[in-house]
């Protein structure tokens, strides 16, 4: 590891001065490591900074690779890295996250634990501020990672849920900030529960509200919720956003219902319309604002 230290410079007359400290080097690029004998990888984005201080980390677990071109547009977390954070794009084995079987979920959870270690050794990461953001099947893995163990500062579950068995086993070790974004017209992840259709999984899913309730219970939230309808900024997208915030929580728990929204993350951007995509809110900005992170 290369350590940067101040340089002493002799000025005319014998005076001493401190040379300006070099910016903290960026650590962007692909990192490759082994988990239980299997090679895994992730892509890390860290910008150079003038001060060598630790930075918060977002680990994004995107859905299957075939959805990447559509969803990358909505999941723009580059602004987080540009504002001093570390953004990590987790990469599923063979392009698909495994969360349906207990052994598969354990494998992915072990991968995330090792990934945090690798990021901490390769970048200026603050291990107390590591946030998981998961979409679709990646969201189910993110939820399972925080269901049984600590070590994460927050979770955002987008267009996802848990199987009934996984929900039953979900016992967050401590209160944790939890954000849920769900499409009320999502046929792949029925918001009220039912048969799910995600890459690597086709089977029953619990309602998104039932999953949110588990995290609300862990945060000792009061029964009352604060419900509000967000501004309908794009009346042509056929959808609107209703926010439900649990009250009296040790850590915030919030559910955004995209009424009329399908299985595609909301985005605030111009361009070709995608059926079922809400344009009233930005997914990345909503996540960053919820976690009170740079770029929100």
The pLDDT assigned to 291 comes to 97
Per-residue pLDDT at 22: 46
Which pLDDT score is estimated for 28? 75
Q: Collect all residues with Cβ–Cβ distance below 8 Å to 20 and sequence separation of at least 6.
A: none
Q: Where are the domains of the chain?
A: 26-290
- Count of other CB atoms within 10 angstroms of residue 155: 23
Cα–Cα nearest to 114, from 174, 39, 63: 39
According to CATH, what is the number of the domain 26-290? 3.40.50.1820
Question: Residues of the chain whose pLDDT is less than 70?
Answer: 1-27, 48-51, 64-74, 101-103, 270-272
What pLDDT, on a 0 to 100 scale, did the predictor assign at position 74? 62
Query: Is the separation of the CB atoms in 161 and 211 below 8 Å?
Result: yes
pLDDT score for 4: 31
State residue 121's pLDDT score.
86
Closest CA to 97 of 39, 137, 136: 137
Tell which residue, 191, 225, 217, has the closest CA to residue 205. Answer: 191
* The model's pTM: 0.88
pLDDT of residue 8: 30
Among residues 224, 287, 216, 223, the alpha carbon closest in space to that of 250 is found at: 216
* Sheet containing 225-229: order of strands: 29-35, 38-46, 86-90, 55-61, 125-135, 154-158, 178-183, 253-259, 240-246, 225-229
């Amino acid at each position: 590891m290369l350590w940067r230290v101040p340089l002493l410079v002799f000025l005319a007359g014998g005076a001493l001065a401190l040379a300006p400290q070099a910016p903290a080097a960026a650590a962007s690029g692909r990192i490759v490591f082994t988990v239980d004998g299997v090679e895994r990888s992730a892509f890390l984005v860290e910008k150079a900074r003038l001060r060598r201080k630790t930075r918060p980390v977002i680990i994004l677990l995107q859905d299957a690779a075939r959805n990447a071109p559509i969803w990358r547009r909505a999941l723009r977390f580059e602004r987080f890295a540009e504002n001093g954070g570390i953004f990590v794009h987790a990469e599923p084995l063979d392009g698909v996250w495994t969360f349906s079987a207990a052994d598969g979920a354990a494998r992915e959870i072990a991968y995330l634990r090792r990934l945090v270690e690798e990021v901490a050794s390769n970048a200026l990461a603050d291990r107390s501020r590591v946030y998981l953001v998961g979409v679709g099947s990646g969201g189910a893995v993110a939820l399972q990672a925080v269901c049984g163990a600590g070590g994460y500062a927050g979770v955002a579950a987008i267009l996802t849920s848990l199987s009934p068995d996984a929900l039953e086993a979900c016992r967050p070790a401590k209160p944790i900030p939890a954000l849920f974004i769900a499409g009320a017209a999502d046929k792949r992840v029925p918001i009220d529960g039912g048969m799910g259709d995600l890459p690597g999984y086709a089977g029953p899913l619990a309602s998104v509200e039932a999953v949110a309730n588990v995290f609300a219970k862990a945060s000792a939230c009061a029964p009352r919720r604060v419900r509000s309808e967000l501004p309908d900024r794009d009346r042509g997208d056929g959808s609107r956003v209703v926010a439900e915030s649990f009250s009296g929580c040790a850590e915030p728990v919030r559910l955004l219902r995209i009424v009329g929204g399908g299985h595609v993350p909301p985005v605030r951007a111009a361009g070709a319309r995608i059926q079922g995509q809400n344009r009233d809110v930005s997914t990345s900005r909503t996540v960053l604002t919820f976690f009170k992170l740079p770029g929100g």
